[in-house]
Amino acid sequence: MEQAEGKKVIYSAIQPSGNLTIGNYVGAVRNWLTLQREYECYFAIADMHAITVKLVPAELRRHTLELAALYLACGIDPAQCALYVQSHVPAHAELCWVLNTVTYVGEASRMTQFKDKSRRHSDNVNMGLMDYPVLMAADILLYGANYVPVGADQKQHVELARDLAERFNSRYGETFTVPEPLIPKGGARIASLQDPERKMSKSDTNPGASVFLSDDRDTILRKFRRAVTDSDNRIVFSEDKPGISNLLSIYCAFKGCTMSEAEASFAGMGYGEFKLAVGETVADVLAPVQARQRELLAEKKELAALLEAGRERAFYTSRKTLSKVYRKVGFYQG
């Protein structure tokens, strides 16, 4: 990894909690690609976050490696970024503990995602679920991140990380960089194809709701063909047309065009033809990514070596921050 003296720092992560959706791609990974050339980047696989809901252990292991291969297949360059698995770097859990002591139970319990997940996993409202944003703050603050590129649903968590950084700094003296969220202008909230009022999610139980990065061409076309639209026949971006607007946003993100260009190219077209065009555009972009991911997964040793190199880099930076934090809070260090 190149030394990146003086560069600003970017941190982001994705949970290996299932197959990634095109929402994760458009809201997160795709935006990391341009950032990696300009910034010092840390991109993690957040396996410690993933176990806050019940998962099959063997699947978590498989998804972890698949996600590493996917990062690379999408174009994340391990020569420029530290790509690593969160649980390989113990400082995340260690800083989380210290940050817990400056987090109020009230503010943690008010987090939208905590309330939402508590409802959806009512048989497993565990401490980890509530602590999730504090661990996320530890991730970000360990590396002195200036910017955190995420989808809109994570904005509140990054804001908590800012609050915790400021609170810690005012209690113990200047320690942490206060991070800012970096939310993409288009595609920050890709909606479900079946219920455009809801976010597209890895864990949606409706099989037509989410398009996965692992879906084959036929599946992608079928899901778009069945996507919910509305009863008038105009292909325009508008608040009262959430289904069509979502499809247009997906199209723009995958085609790399503006909303007005997209609207102009679909003017006068029927919904059936439009949905086919969106599906084909998505499938065309994903096909080479899927092929590259398969090749990378066949080279497990090389993948493991890359993750080890990322771990070393992350380990070094995170230890430096943690020692400083331990000194500030008054832990005796010999």
Contact of 152 with 116, CB cutoff 8 Å? no
Torsion of CA 119, 121, 127, 129, to 10 degrees: -80
Residue type, 53: V
Q: Is 140 exposed, middle or buried (0-12, 13-18, 19+ CB in 10 A)?
A: buried
Nearer to ligand TYM, 89 or 150 (CB): 150
40 forms beta bridges with 9
Q: In the numeric block, which tokens belong to residue 41?
A: 């980047």
Shortest distance in whole angstroms from residue 10 CB to ligand TYM: 10
Shortest distance in whole angstroms from residue 136 CB to ligand TYM: 4
Nearer to ligand TYM, 13 or 289 (CB): 13
Residue 108 Cα distances to 94, 135, 255, 318, angstroms: 18, 11, 39, 24
Nearer to ligand TYM, 153 or 312 (CB): 153
Shortest distance in whole angstroms from residue 210 CB to ligand TYM: 8
Nearer to ligand TYM, 189 or 292 (CB): 189
Q: Which DSSP symbol is given to 215?
A: -
Task: Given the residues 199, 223, 241, 275, select the one marked as catalytic.
Answer: 199
Specify the length of the chain in residues: 334
Contact of 288 with 294, CB cutoff 8 Å? no
Nearer to ligand TYM, 154 or 318 (CB): 154
41 forms beta bridges with 10, 81
In the residue annotation, 202 being an active-site residue is answered as yes
Task: Given the residues 8, 155, 202, 255, select the one marked as catalytic.
Answer: 202
Nearer to ligand TYM, 178 or 269 (CB): 178
Instruction: Note the residues at the interface with ligand TYM (CB under 6 A).
Output: 11-15, 23-24, 26-28, 46, 49, 136, 139-140, 148, 150-151, 153-154, 188-190, 199-200
Shortest distance in whole angstroms from residue 15 CB to ligand TYM: 4
In the residue annotation, 199 being an active-site residue is answered as yes
45 forms beta bridges with 14, 85
Shortest distance in whole angstroms from residue 41 CB to ligand TYM: 12
The helix or strand, by DSSP H or E, that contains position 181, with its residue range, turns out to be strand 180-182
Shortest distance in whole angstroms from residue 321 CB to ligand TYM: 14
Nearer to ligand TYM, 269 or 285 (CB): 285
Task: Given the residues 117, 223, 241, 275, select the one marked as catalytic.
Answer: 117
Q: Which residues contact 166 (CB under 8 A, 6 or more apart)?
A: 178
Shortest distance in whole angstroms from residue 11 CB to ligand TYM: 5
Please identify the residue of the shown chain whose CB is closest to the bound ligand TYM: 27
Residue type, 293: Q
Q: How many CB atoms lie within 10 A of CB 292?
A: 16
Q: How far is CA 23 from the centre of its chain?
A: 9
Q: Which residues contact 84 (CB under 8 A, 6 or more apart)?
A: 42, 44, 45, 307, 310, 311, 313, 314
Active site residues: 117, 199, 202
